[in-house]
Amino acid sequence: MGGSDDPNNLVLLSVEEHAEAHRLLFEKHGYQADRCAWKGLSALIGKEDFLVERARLGGLTQYLSKDEQSKLIKQGQSLSNKKWGGSTPKEGNGFYKKHHTPESKQAMREKNKINSKGSKNSQFGTMWITNSTVNKKIKKDGSLPIGFTKGRI
């Protein structure tokens, strides 16, 4: 968080504690970098997904293949090494301290109901599975990997 690497300013954490620290920081400040670190350290996403997500946030593109870099560029993502984490909700946000009217909120709800039914739903055809340690989202194809059950923890 910008502090020094002086031994008096450091805390020894296990991987689990480190992941939890990033989860709490994400919930408090909303930095996508903390979300990505939490998911990666908790093994909620794999190494390749972590690297792609990290590159989307800016940086670490040297770890991506040329195909992965091309894919990000086609999606309109920047490959610059900008400061990881983006802005807080207060910084550089044109909507800061503004609110939707109750009418516009209702209109958005109605539109989302229509646009997220059936095959238009982003979760359509997928399910969560767990082995009591790791949660994964997979396509519904009827077969579960050995040691996994439906649901998540």
pLDDT at 78 exceeding the cut of 70: no
The verdict on residue 128 lying in a domain is yes
The verdict on residue 93 lying in a domain is no
The verdict on residue 127 lying in a domain is yes
Among 85, 111, 135, give the residue marking a domain's end: 85
In this structure, the answer to whether residues 126 and 77 fall within a common structural domain is no
- Number of domains the chain is built from: 2
Domain that holds residue 131: 121-153
In this structure, the answer to whether residues 137 and 76 fall within a common structural domain is no
| pLDDT tens-digit readout, 90-128 | 555 566 667 788 998 898 888 888 878 888 887 888 998
The verdict on residue 107 lying in a domain is no
DSSP 34-49: HHHHHHHHTTSS-HHH
Separation CA 117–CA 125 (nearest Å): 12
Does pTM top 0.85 for this prediction?
A: no
Separation CA 110–CA 132 (nearest Å): 37
Among 61, 85, 109, give the residue marking a domain's end: 85
